[in-house]
Chains A and B, each alone.
Chain A
Amino acid sequence: MFNGLIVAALAFLPGEVDAPKPATLARTLAFRADVVYRGDGTSIDDGVILVKEGVITQVGSGLEIPEGAAIVDHDGAISAGLIALHSEDGAGAELYDSTRIVLAEAEARHAFAPEHADFDRALAAGITALVLAPSSSSLIGGQSAVVKTSGGRVVKPAAQLALSLSRDALHTNRFPTSYAGAIEELERRFGEPEGPVARAASGSLPVLIDVNDRAETLRAIGFAQRFGLKGALYGSYWAEEIAPQIAGSGLDVICTPFDVGDDSRSARAVVALAKEGVRLGFGLDAPERHPGSLRFGAAACVRAGLETAKARKALTGDAAAIAGVAGRIGRVARGLDADLVLWSGDPVALTSSIQAVYVDGELVHGGSK
């Protein structure tokens, strides 16, 4: 009863928790694995993770297991749940507005349909959180949301302001019809900023800028620098030759999703960006793409020379940082949500299979014990 009141009170906090936590999460869990990948580039051999009420309380090796804890002894590796930084899962056409080119106040979280089967598919691929982002066809599409793939929780309702400087934002039958026109409109809006645009201009709301090629990327970097914007570019395919400029801009990069048979340029671009020290994450664009493309892309980049530790970080810890939720998910660390994936081996290796997925400390996929 008392719990119910607290939960009800919590439900009124702006945008933090959309659904009350089930009672089963009150128990303590202890995970043990051959390797624990922390999501920050480091790992622990023979690692132990203690979880209470869906939150990680301790991580280390040789930890004392509290009495009464449910023990999960895993023969393999454990990592933080994977995070896809650009997706349309469960949203259908809801992230696409063809009537307005600027709808800064629109929030992608309203397109969040947690019961949709797309989220089951994402879970089965080890993805525990993803960013629902407005379509790239609107100049300022609205605000993206970070959501979990199980439990219906919105981790962050207004995560990024979505801008589009790609040719998708240009139209033949309505404004803007050219890059010059698009930039002019954006500069007008950012020159006299209101609402979310003002928050982006002040640096408190990161931007998410859609780009498709080198010219668009340089345009986006120039624009971001003129207004001192922080955030991420979405689109890495052509980045190989302009990696130093991207690094100089301070913007993160969300890599274009990978497909079998992609030109090797796409993987080389990611390796070049990593070499310049750019923080990376992976985009997905599911459900049009299979959620397994996330790890496939990581594996393709590793084949092209990306260090496996960096690839792991891009799938977890760095992805969370790019989305602005580093304090909640993406790493196996004290105080963060217990979103964990149990693998038969290294998560970046395609030969590794997913054995179980936990979201907020609850087993939501696999795991036959």
Chain B
Amino acid sequence: MRSKVVRPALAGLFGVLCTPSVVQAGPAVQAEPGAEEAAVFVIRAAELHLRPGEVRENTSVLVRDGRILQIGADIAPPEGAQVIEGAVVCAAFIDPWSALGVDGPTLIDTSLVESARTSDALDFFEGDHLRAEALRAGVTAARLQAGFKGKNCGLGAVARLDPELDDPSAAVLLDDADLAMSVGLSVQRQASFQRMPDGSFQLVSGDAAMDVFDRIGAVDSVVSAIESGASYRKAEVEFRYELEEWEKAIAEKVEELEDDFKKAKKDRDKDIEEAEEKGKEFKEKKYKEDKKPRKPRFDADKAELARVAEGEIPLIVEVHRSAEIRKLLADTERFSRLRLVIAGGSEAGTCAEELARRRVPVIVWPSLRGTQAKDEFEGAKLSLAAELAEAGVEVLLGTGGRDGEATRDLPLLAQLAVGHGLDREAAFEALTLGAARTFDVADRLGSVEVGKDADLLVLDGPPLGPSTRVQYVFCGGRLAVTPQDQ
């Protein structure tokens, strides 16, 4: 079924003269509340995918000012609304592991601290064509993370990939969506001469695999970081409690002293006189309550780790090898509120049951790696997503967070995972609601629901269908892609 656009008010006049197209007054503008030219659309879907597993036929969606206002069988288009008809309509895709828009040097910074914000390193003026391509492929938002090579990757940001939004403050939906770390990635090795089998010497550089002791140590490092966050929060809570107690005690003591005020004053004056007579220094009487509880010193990094320990933001750990994954799971079990997410997990298939039991989602990066791949990817296989999903693990699909250009290929990688056994519905959920939920933006993205942002796709076939083409893309309520752009 071909999607087409109809403008009801002018259809009669211009229908014969104009080819069916989207008629927009001037350049597309991000609609602001109260603006005169509010962007209003009615999208009529033959098949509306509200959320994974819930499909309604012949249903319309009303979009205004960037939001989904109404979903129903018969929606009368308001004055000035643009009507779009589509075979299939669903929520737009989210890349939960992307680098699109992250400044280059920041992406490879290995010395970031926990409180570093990815949103401070975003450059949305460059690479517009990449964001446009991502949109055309149906990916409208992504979790961006700095410093993937280092132990600490700082606080990640969830942002829209709209090329019209140059200012991160407009594009970023959540600038502290998560804290990320990495364990056991190959490290930069200094270039050195190595002897080749044929006797010649060759300058060899590049990354070297971390040795096993360092890798295990890296897991310890992550766990002690969480522990320090937990202690920091505990100290904060204890301080508040002690402060409250102290203030209460002060109030009580003041009240007590008020009663004996005259007597106490007389005693104090007598003591001062005595001290002057004897030539001794007068010492004020000290009370136990004089000691005010000391506020713990503010530590920006520990403050973020505290949020992680308390489960306020998820902790994303990129880790690939079986031993490290197991150790990470075992050592973090005692943090009952921790929201752990594993990124990569190349060998996670070996502990799928444990991951399912602990409800730890895994962001799988389906990748075509040859024999030159880094050591940590040795156990990687394209059937990983399918194996984990089969064991009951929540699977997300991402593009690896190293190469911004890869985000455009997220739907193809999802198809690759499906071709190696992942259930198509699970793949669709991974790209939409699963990603939104994990990064706490499910109130705005991930499904077609009243009140959520209008990030929608109009397709000519099922989402992730092999020959399905994306026809229209709504990004934050703006009609960003039309069939003419494809």
Residues of chain A having any CB pair with chain B under 8 Å? 118, 259-264, 286-290, 292-293, 296, 299-300, 302-303, 308, 345-346, 348-353
Contacts and interface: CB of A to CB of B under 8 A. Distances in A.
Contact of B412 (A286, A289, A300, A308): A300
A261 B466 contact: no
Q: Which of the listed residues A118, A261, A349 has the most CB atoms from chain B within 10 Å of its own CB?
A: A261
Contact of B406 (A261, A287, A303, A345): A261
A261 B409 CA distance: 6
Nearest to B407: A261
Nearest to B383: A353
B415 A260 contact: no
Interface in B339-383: 367-372, 382
Nearest 6 A/B pairs, CB to CB: A349-B466, A261-B405, A290-B368, A261-B406, A350-B415, A287-B371
B421 A353 contact: yes
Contacts of A351: 415, 418-419, 424, 464-466
Given A260-B413, A308-B467, A290 B405 contact: no
A249 B298 CA distance: 72
B399 to A, nearest CB: 7
A352 B466 CA distance: 9
B368 A264 contact: no
B395 to A, nearest CB: 16
Given A261-B406, A353-B419, A288 B370 contact: yes
Contacts of A118: 371
B405 A296 contact: no
B370 A350 contact: no
Nearest to A305: B486
B416 interface: yes
Nearest to A302: B467
Nearest to A294: B368
A288 B372 contact: yes
Nearest to A353: B419
A361 to B, nearest CB: 26
B333 interface: no
Nearest to B465: A351
Q: Which of the listed residues B368, B403, B467 has the most CB atoms from chain A within 10 Å of its own CB?
A: B368
B429 interface: no
Q: Which of the listed residues B369, B409, B413, B419 has the most CB atoms from chain A within 10 Å of its own CB?
A: B419
Contact of A299 (B367, B406, B415): B415
Nearest to A288: B370
Interface of B: 133, 137, 367-372, 382, 399, 403-406, 408-409, 412-413, 415-416, 418-421, 424, 464-467
Main secondary structure of the interface of A (DSSP, over half): loop
Given A290-B367, A352-B466, 12 more contacts: A118-B371, A260-B406, A260-B409, A286-B370, A287-B371, A290-B368, A292-B382, A293-B368, A303-B137, A346-B466, A351-B419, A351-B424
13 contacts: A260-B367, A260-B368, A260-B406, A261-B403, A261-B404, A261-B405, A287-B371, A292-B416, A296-B416, A308-B467, A350-B418, A351-B419, A352-B466
Nearest to A262: B405
Q: Which of the listed residues B369, B371, B372 has the most CB atoms from chain A within 10 Å of its own CB?
A: B371
Main secondary structure of the interface of B (DSSP, over half): loop
Contacts of B418: 350-351
A84 to B, nearest CB: 13
Nearest to A287: B371
A349 B368 CA distance: 16
Contacts of B368: 259-260, 289-290, 292-293, 296
Contacts of B369: 290
A233 B127 CA distance: 31
A113 to B, nearest CB: 14
Nearest to A345: B466
A288 B373 CA distance: 8
Given A260-B409, A261-B409, A308-B467, A349 B415 contact: yes
B420 A353 contact: yes
A198 B416 CA distance: 45
Q: Which of the listed residues B367, B370, B420 has the most CB atoms from chain A within 10 Å of its own CB?
A: B370
A261 B404 CA distance: 8
Contacts of B424: 351
A292 B466 CA distance: 16
A352 B371 CA distance: 24
B483 to A, nearest CB: 13
Nearest to B382: A292
A146 B193 CA distance: 37
A346 B416 CA distance: 13
A302 B419 CA distance: 17
B95 to A, nearest CB: 12
Contacts of A263: 405
Nearest to A293: B368
A352 B404 CA distance: 27
A259 B412 CA distance: 11
A82 B225 CA distance: 50
A118 B403 CA distance: 27
Contacts of B419: 349-353
A350 B133 contact: no
A95 to B, nearest CB: 15
Given A287-B371, A293-B368, A296-B412, A264 B466 contact: no
A349 to B, nearest CB: 3
A303 B136 CA distance: 11
Nearest to A343: B419
A260 B399 contact: yes
Q: Which of the listed residues B399, B424, B467 has the most CB atoms from chain A within 10 Å of its own CB?
A: B467
B239 to A, nearest CB: 49
A300 B382 CA distance: 18
A299 to B, nearest CB: 6
Contacts of B420: 353
B365 to A, nearest CB: 10
A260 B464 CA distance: 17
B383 to A, nearest CB: 9
A302 B411 CA distance: 13
B370 A290 contact: yes
Contacts of A259: 368
A263 B421 CA distance: 28
B259 to A, nearest CB: 78
Contacts of A296: 368, 412, 416
A118 B382 CA distance: 17
A293 B405 CA distance: 17
B149 to A, nearest CB: 18
A96 to B, nearest CB: 11
Given A260-B413, A261-B406, A353-B419, A289 B370 contact: yes
Contacts of A303: 137, 412
Contacts of B466: 299, 345-346, 348-352
Contacts of B382: 292
A65 to B, nearest CB: 31
Nearest to A350: B415
A288 B371 contact: yes
Contacts of A286: 370
A263 B409 CA distance: 11
Contacts of B421: 353
